[in-house]
């Protein structure tokens, strides 16, 4: 028989919150990031590069982990609408409006009069990654933003991440254990990569998020913990240090006599 399940993993697109352009906590910076989150069509990515084997992320927590919300109550309203019983990515007009409110009408950088240039730091090599990187450029083209790919070997890339000189990046995380703490800690400021050499690669810092994290991390699963997690995820959707990417689907084939 064939069994399919969504893996307790997330592949996400991150912004370095220490960066002068895509980082920071002003309304403008958050709008730029949310505009990009709408424009990056992860449903298309999943269908082209994963043969449909994935689920678009609505937050950092993978399906099947406590705190993940199914259906209408679980969608990221900054990026999706709920229409006719299913979620729909917001139209590009919404992204363009946010971009204009962020100070980049039509994708133009007011300082240069040219399309805004953003940098994706990556370690892509081989023909497959060429197609993926072309797809990424196309996503930013929709907003008239010019995406420059800075491709280096893994050691150079790691150096940039630990110094905080990368601007945008793609990362993944597999849960070590099935608890929401093991996803939400990726955005807890004492784990920031630059300052503390931790797993918070975006160097995200939000005091309310941190405080809620400390309350949530050792709680028993239950309504109170869910309420705190919902608020934490809301904060992340608004601040948008990540484009939430996708959770891969795992397929396994096994004999009918195989149990447990």
The pLDDT assigned to 258 comes to 66
Look up tokens 């869910």; give the residue.
226
Q: At what angle do helices 27-39 and 223-239 cross, to 10 degrees?
A: 90
Query: Token match 């994706």: residue?
Result: 120
The predicted structure's pLDDT at residue 5? 75
Distance, CA of 242 to CA of 60 (rounded, Å): 9
From first to last of the 260 residues of the chain, give the pLDDT tens digit.
766 677 789 999 999 999 999 999 999 999 999 999 999 999 999 999 999 999 999 999 999 999 999 999 999 999 999 999 999 999 999 999 999 999 999 999 999 999 999 999 998 777 778 899 999 999 999 999 999 999 999 899 999 999 999 999 999 999 999 999 999 999 999 999 999 999 999 999 999 999 999 999 999 999 999 999 999 999 999 999 999 999 998 766 666 676 66
What distance in Å separates the CA atoms of residue 154 and residue 21, rounded to the nearest whole number?
A: 24
Looking at residue 127, what is its pLDDT?
A: 72
pLDDT at 3: 66
* Non-local CB neighbours of 37 within 8 Å, separated by 6+ positions: 76, 78, 79, 240, 243, 244
Gyration radius from the chain CA atoms? 18
- Cβ atoms within 10 Å, residue 21: 17
In sequence order, what are the residues at sequence separation of 6 or more whose Cβ sits closer than 8 angstroms to the Cβ of residue 150?
A: 119, 120, 121, 122, 166
d(CA 182, CA 52): 26
């Amino acid at each position: 028989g064939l069994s399919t399940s969504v893996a307790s993993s997330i592949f996400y697109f991150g912004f370095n919150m220490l960066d002068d352009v895509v980082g920071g906590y002003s309304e403008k910076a958050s709008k730029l990031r949310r505009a990009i989150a709408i424009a990056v069509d992860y449903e298309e990515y999943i269908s082209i590069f994963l043969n449909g084997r994935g689920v678009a992320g609505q937050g950092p927590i993978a399906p099947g982990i406590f705190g993940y919300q199914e259906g209408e109550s679980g969608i990221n309203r900054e990026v999706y609408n709920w229409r006719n019983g299913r979620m729909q990515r917001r139209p590009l007009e919404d992204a363009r409006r946010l971009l204009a409110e962020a100070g980049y009408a039509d994708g133009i950088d007011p300082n240069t009069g040219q399309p805004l240039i953003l940098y994706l730091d990556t370690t892509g090599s081989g023909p497959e990654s060429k197609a993926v990187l072309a797809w990424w450029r196309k996503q930013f083209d929709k907003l008239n933003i010019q995406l420059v790919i800075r491709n280096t070997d893994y050691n150079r890339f790691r150096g940039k991440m630990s110094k905080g000189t990368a601007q945008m990046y793609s990362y993944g995380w597999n849960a070590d254990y099935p608890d929401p703490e093991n996803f939400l800690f990726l955005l807890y400021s004492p784990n920031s990569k630059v300052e503390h050499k931790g797993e918070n690669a975006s160097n995200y810092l939000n005091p309310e998020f941190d405080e809620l994290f400390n309350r949530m991390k050792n709680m028993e699963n239950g309504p109170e913990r869910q309420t705190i997690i919902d608020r934490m995820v809301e904060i992340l959707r608004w601040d948008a240090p990540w484009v939430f990417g996708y959770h891969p689907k795992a397929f396994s084939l096994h004999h009918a006599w195989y149990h447990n």
